[in-house]
Amino acid sequence: FVRGAVDPATQHIISASLFLHPGFLIIDHIHFQYNGFLFGILLWSILMARNGNKLASGILFAVLLNFKHIYMYIAV
């Protein structure tokens, strides 16, 4: 959906509007124990890996696992 937009600025606006949607934040922080914060760490780790910084990616993913062990399923 986001990649369908040609303009990079439009892609950023769509991404930000999805991640910062008030309903997502309210439901996430009340019921799902701050998964939005953890999802941000996951995305940061993936970004570091894509940029070739494997050490920072590994450290961020290790921090993520210390916050919530369910992310171990992604490591497989």
pTM: 0.61
Q: How many CA atoms lie within 13 A of 19 on its CB side?
A: 14
- What is the percentage of the chain residues whose pLDDT exceeds 70? 89
Residue 3 confidence (pLDDT): 67
**pLDDT > 90? residue 58:** yes
Quote the pLDDT of residue 73.
80
Asked if 41 and 67 count as a contact pair (C-beta separation under 8 A), the reply is: yes
Contact between 40 and 10 (Cβ < 8 Å): no
Residue 9 has pLDDT above 80, yes or no: yes
Domain extents in the chain = 1-32, 33-76
